[in-house]
Structure 1
Amino acid sequence: MPHRNAPLTETGRLRLARCVVEDGWPLRRAAERFQVSPTTAQRWADRYRQSGEAGMADRTSRPRHCPRRTPSRTERRIIKVRVLRRWGPARIAHLLHLVPSTVHRVLTRYNLARLTQLDRATGRVIRRYERDRPGELVHVDIKKLGNIPNGGGHKVLGRAAGRRNRTMAGYSYLHTAVDDHSRLAYSEIHTDEKKETATNFWKRAHLFFTQAGITVERVLTDNGSCYRSHDWRAALAAAGIAHKRTRPYRPQTNGKVERFNRTLLDEWAYARPYRSESERQAAFPTWLHTYNHHRGHTALGGQPPASRVPNLTGQYT
């Protein structure tokens, strides 16, 4: 297909060639008439003599021979290592004594899936999904996070002073519920992950989603003891909500909330050097509001989760 500034289309090339070959026009006259160089006019006239009207079509610019292309045997070795070990281009290149860019080109040439799209345990492509409406599925999980000692850790005081100030600060547990369709998140920070704490958290999360106009139909959790308790099952059953658990050792099934956990670590928990755990926890509500109402989400076309929940209050505050 000719580019937008090309002076000749296939029809124009054919007219030029016929003027030269059949009507006997001089090359310079034909070139001036069709506003091209005499060399170009000569090329299309020669093509017309050789192939006729079919010769006016574009031809591929790909070379007929690639003497420096990676040998087929090497390509097979690259693919074998990728399939069996699921390594990236850099590690494969080091093993086979190649250049990483060469390995990357081979993997791209054979359309091998990126490692981020694979289940590392089985090598199968991860099947991604999104529910059709808010509330059809809500992902629930707990993230364990080490507390910051008073005065700050190594990011504030440096390595040596940070080690001296390192005391038994304990842990915090972030209980989170994320709607599959909208990615709307409700999260609280607690001191434990007991069944009573998890159950009471869910009751408040359920109220949050209900006030946003979302009817929760199913909840997906891992196989933690708090999610296998009678209290948890009773709370879901009382609201008419189905409970589904992930298969053991497959956290990617609960990937929406796992991705949220990674985001909060990058953008809140480790985003700046806090001087105490209370200072970090005080910044959490503001960050969570920004995530729900203002932070663009790539899976939502750059829009925040609130854009998929019309009844959510405080969207533009």
Structure 2
Amino acid sequence: MSHRNAPLSETGRLRLARCVVEDGWPLRRAAERFQVSVTTTSRWATRYREQGEAGMADRSSRPHRSPNQTPTRIERRIIKVRVLRRWGPARIGYLLGIHPSTVHRVLTRYGVAKLRWLDRPTGRVIRRIETSQCGDLVHVDVKKLGKIPAGGGWRMLGRTIGQRNSQADKGSGLRSKYRHPLHGHHFLHTAIDAHSRLAYSELLPDERKETAAGFWLRANAWFAECGIPVRNVLTDNGSCYRSHAFREALGDVEHRRTRPYRPQTNGKVERFHRTLADEWAYARLYTSDAERCAQFPIWLHTYNHHRGHTALGGQPPASRVPNLSGQYS
């Protein structure tokens, strides 16, 4: 195959072959003239005698026979298991008694889509939502997060002591208003820009319609301060997002909803909540709920301005927002 250091192009091969075949040059003289080996000169001269100008084109380096290639019957079984069960090379290899690297080569040779590209329930290739500029689409969602009892939860103390600690002040048969104030959940409301992945998030006491509407008003104002005019909002079909209060809070912003039972459509904010859980909520052992809550704004600033994002080529979300830091104003 031709490459940047190849001494002969197709035209050069033709000139070389004609010097030998038509002009009668000795092989060694032609090799010295075109700065190639005698073997190369002989090969192109032979091809020219047999095929003419058509023989000067590159040929595939693929062998005519591959006696050690995986049999077609085994390849079909690999593809069948992949399509029906959506397993990776390791599990398919264990099932069929084949090395995982062989399974991987077969899947690659047939151009089978990678598992991370597929929707697991249906097996269809995921069509990712891509926006061209900031504000074209903002994903909004709520994550429920359990509070940490005073002294630490089961992750720090173990399940037996942690559960005993969380039940210490509940009391048997008491109404909820007499329970320990730290029992319950936080509701993490998040709005994330689809283009830049810049996120605004708050820890709120519930997910009612008034709370969701108030959150969006503050989130929209924050995005405006960052120079991002929001044009579209994507949410699930939760009751708080179908309310008149949330609709009024949106104003002129277009409201889109995901299909029922399809959280993948809102995948960017779902992935943000997973990252948040791994890197903040459960990244260390907290002794109290207040300690964890105090770390949340610090982590969120790090995520927006310093943490590299794989979808952005290792750059933080703030790098995609024009003049976010105001250095060009």
Establish whether TM, by shorter chain, passes 0.5. Answer: yes
**How far did residue 250 of structure 1 move?**
0.5
The answer on whether the counterparts of 1:152 and 1:162 sit within 8 Å (CA) in structure 2 is no
Matched, 1:256 2:268: yes
The answer on whether the counterparts of 2:154 and 2:160 sit within 8 Å (CA) in structure 1 is no
Q: 1:226 aligns with which of 232, 240, 244?
A: 240
Query: Could you tell me how far apart the structure 1 residues matched to 2:50 and 2:150 are?
Result: 85
Q: 1:199 aligns with which of 187, 205, 213?
A: 213
The answer on whether the counterparts of 1:149 and 1:165 sit within 8 Å (CA) in structure 2 is no
Equivalent AA in structure 1 for residue 301 of structure 2: H
Query: Could you tell me how far apart the structure 2 residues matched to 1:59 and 1:47 are?
Result: 12
- Sort the Cα spacing of 1:275 and 1:47 in 2 relative to 1 into closer, same or farther, 3 A: farther
- Residues 251-299 of structure 1: CA deviation (Å, up to 9, x unaligned): 0111121121122233333444544443333222222223223334344
**How far did residue 206 of structure 1 move?**
1.8
Residue of structure 2 in register with 1:26 after alignment: 26
Query: Could you tell me how far apart the structure 2 residues matched to 1:133 and 1:18 are?
Result: 58
SS at match of 1:283: helix
Q: Which runs of structure 2 are paired with 1:32-71 in the superposition (5 Å)?
A: 32-71=32-71
Q: Which moved more, 1:144-153 or 1:35-44?
A: 144-153
Matched, 1:247 2:243: no
Q: Which runs of structure 2 are paired with 1:92-103 in the superposition (5 Å)?
A: 92-103=92-103
Q: 1:163 aligns with which of 159, 164, 177?
A: 159
- Sort the Cα spacing of 1:131 and 1:17 in 2 relative to 1 into closer, same or farther, 3 A: closer
- Sort the Cα spacing of 1:20 and 1:311 in 2 relative to 1 into closer, same or farther, 3 A: closer
Equivalent AA in structure 1 for residue 232 of structure 2: R
Residue of structure 2 in register with 1:294 after alignment: 306
- Sort the Cα spacing of 1:209 and 1:18 in 2 relative to 1 into closer, same or farther, 3 A: same
Gaps of 5+ in 2: 167-182
- Residues 2-27 of structure 1: CA deviation (Å, up to 9, x unaligned): 22222222233223323333333333
SS at match of 2:240: helix
- Paired residues in the alignment total 310
Output the TM-score relative to the length of structure 1.
0.85
- Sort the Cα spacing of 1:315 and 1:277 in 2 relative to 1 into closer, same or farther, 3 A: farther
Matched, 1:73 2:73: yes
Residue of structure 1 in register with 2:82 after alignment: 82
The answer on whether the counterparts of 1:82 and 1:92 sit within 8 Å (CA) in structure 2 is yes
- Sort the Cα spacing of 1:313 and 1:33 in 2 relative to 1 into closer, same or farther, 3 A: closer
Matched, 1:281 2:281: no
Residue of structure 2 in register with 1:179 after alignment: 193
- Residues 8-55 of structure 1: CA deviation (Å, up to 9, x unaligned): 222332233233333333333332332222222222222222222222
**How far did residue 191 of structure 1 move?**
3.7
Gaps of 5+ in 1: none
**How far did residue 106 of structure 1 move?**
2.0
SS at match of 2:230: coil
- Sort the Cα spacing of 1:243 and 1:52 in 2 relative to 1 into closer, same or farther, 3 A: closer
Q: Which runs of structure 2 are paired with 1:101-120 in the superposition (5 Å)?
A: 101-120=101-120
The answer on whether the counterparts of 2:134 and 2:196 sit within 8 Å (CA) in structure 1 is yes
Equivalent AA in structure 2 for residue 79 of structure 1: I
**How far did residue 93 of structure 1 move?**
2.1
- Residues 188-223 of structure 1: CA deviation (Å, up to 9, x unaligned): 123433334323222211221222233333322222
**How far did residue 129 of structure 1 move?**
2.0
SS at match of 2:256: strand
Q: Which moved more, 1:85-94 or 1:249-258?
A: 85-94
- Residues 56-97 of structure 1: CA deviation (Å, up to 9, x unaligned): 222111011122222222222222222222222222222222
The answer on whether the counterparts of 1:293 and 1:315 sit within 8 Å (CA) in structure 2 is no
Residue of structure 2 in register with 1:213 after alignment: 227
SS at match of 2:101: helix
SS at match of 1:227: coil
The answer on whether the counterparts of 2:188 and 2:204 sit within 8 Å (CA) in structure 1 is yes
Output the TM-score relative to the length of structure 2.
0.82
SS at match of 1:139: strand
- Sort the Cα spacing of 1:22 and 1:116 in 2 relative to 1 into closer, same or farther, 3 A: same
Residue of structure 1 in register with 2:10 after alignment: 10
Query: Could you tell me how far apart the structure 1 residues matched to 2:272 and 2:11 are?
Result: 56
What is the identity percentage for the equivalent residue pairs of Structure 1 and Structure 2? 73
- Sort the Cα spacing of 1:207 and 1:16 in 2 relative to 1 into closer, same or farther, 3 A: same
Q: Which moved more, 1:197-206 or 1:19-28?
A: 19-28
Q: Quote the RMSD (CA, aligned, Å).
A: 2.8
Residue of structure 2 in register with 1:266 after alignment: 278
Query: Could you tell me how far apart the structure 1 residues matched to 2:219 and 2:324 are?
Result: 14
